[in-house]
Structure 1
Amino acid sequence: MGTRSGTKAKIQDVALELFGEQGYDKTSLREIAERLGVTKAALYYHFKTKEEIITSLLQETGDKLQEVADWMSDKEPTLANRQELLRRYSAAVADTGRHFKLMRLMQENQPALRELAAGMKGHERAKLFFEFMTGPDASLADQLRARLAVMVQHMGIFALQETGASEEDRKAAALEVGMDLIG
């Protein structure tokens, strides 16, 4: 199956496919192994449970976003720095196929995955991003614009899928709209 990290990525991708097709609860490790064409023991070498697979995916995204938060930590919230934050955020979620599947999985399987997501600090980090993007005296409308600027980095690429535009062009359009929203 290739290198260890390549194998882990393949397992993650196949698991996301199956979770999307059948739901998280209805997918077994055996089915993941079968789709991969490996034994369950080979799969266990990398992941012992479905929870470990999801946690590893959440951790990858969390690590990328933590790098953005670390960059932001000693910056003043000037317009130029808010724009740079949005650029970095957009790049951190750029693995659009996998990221979108993971976000959809989390949304569609909230009861089963709530505990896993709770420990990933996503809400706290998002709050820091939003506060940096708006400042303490921001109007409600400006707070909404900041949230939408971030959210469009996740959803804009998929909202434009049927246009036939390339993924890079759709990502650029999402970033442009986000930039417009923050000023």
Structure 2
Amino acid sequence: MAKPVAPRGLARDRVLDAALALFAECGVHGTSLKMIADRIGVSKAAVYYQFQSKEDIALEVMRPTLEDLARVIRIADALPDWQAQRAVATSGIVEMAVRHRRLAMALSCDPAMDHLLRAQPEMKAVFDRLNELLVGPEPDSTSRVAAAVFFAGIGMAAADPQLTDVDDDDLRRVLLDLSNRILQPAAEHA
């Protein structure tokens, strides 16, 4: 009798879950395919069967968040003025950081992940458009610095192990309030 085999989608999900946990712990650069395989109790060849490289795994880990952020951009772009667009982009980014706290850790603490994402044209376009929505139509140094502080602060706060006891609703509320304060000077200069 043949041994039952798990569906390929389930195997891919196991690889992605293990990779995300390891990326948060060790960074993308510090995570090997062997570590991912060991985490789920399979051979490295089994991981290669699902993905061609660690970079493919990292990009796939990011894909759901980027798809959500692309939706935020579409909603913001449908609004008539920059203030409303910025408000939607801000709340969308905060929501993604809170919803994907483990991923925020991998993103905010790992230059290899940032480099990998910016090397992908579709992903770079999402990040560039979000930045445009935050800095406004005529960015100055104040709005650009405010956006940089916003992005870094959101990622670091969502990823901070000392904040794991803060529930998602409280974290979302506080991050949104602080984000609006950080970005307000940029809005006043627009």
Pairwise same-fold verdict (TM > 0.5)? yes
Runs of at least 5 residues in structure 1 that lack an aligned partner in the other structure: none
Q: How many residues in Structure 1 have an aligned counterpart in Structure 2? A: 179
Q: Name the structure 2 match of 1:80.
A: 84
| 5+ long unaligned stretches in structure 2 | 185-190
The correspondence of residues 19-168 of structure 1 with structure 2, limited to 5 A, is: 19=23, 24=28, 27-93=31-97, 94-105=99-110, 107=111, 109=112, 114=115, 117-159=118-160, 161-162=162-163, 164-168=165-169
Identity %: 23
* Aligned CA-pair RMSD: 3.3
Out of 37-46 and 22-31, give the one that drifted further: 22-31
Q: 2:188 maps to which residue?
A: none
Q: What is the alpha-carbon distance in structure 1 between the residues aligned to residue 163 and residue 177 of structure 2?
A: 19
Q: CA deviation at 1:69?
A: 1.8
Residue 135 of structure 1 and its aligned partner are, at CA, apart by 2.8
What's the TM-score once normalised by structure 1's chain length? Answer: 0.73
Looking at structure 1, the residues matched to 158 and 133 of structure 2 have their Cα atoms a distance apart, in angstroms, of: 24
Q: Does the 8 Å CA contact 1:65/1:92 hold for their aligned counterparts?
A: yes
Deviations 1:8-49 (A, max 9, x none): 333123224445656655644333222211234433332232
Distance in 2, Cα, partners of 1:132 & 1:25? 30
Structure 1 residues 35 and 128 mapped into 2: Cα distance closer, same or farther (>3 Å)?
closer
* Change in CA separation of 1:85 and 1:102 when aligned onto 2, cut-off 3 Å: closer
Following the alignment from structure 2 to structure 1, what is the Cα–Cα distance between the partners of residues 143 and 173? 22
CA shift in 2, pair 1:76/1:154, >3 Å: farther
Q: Deviations over 1:84-139 (max 9, x none)?
A: 2211122233211123224423x1x47xx845640144444333223333433454
The answer as to whether partners of 1:51 and 1:116 remain within 8 angstroms in 2 is no
Q: CA offsets per residue over residues 151-179 of structure 1, 9 Å max, x none?
A: 43222234582584334322321111012
**TM-score, normalised via structure 2 length:** 0.71
- Give 1:14's aligned residue: 18
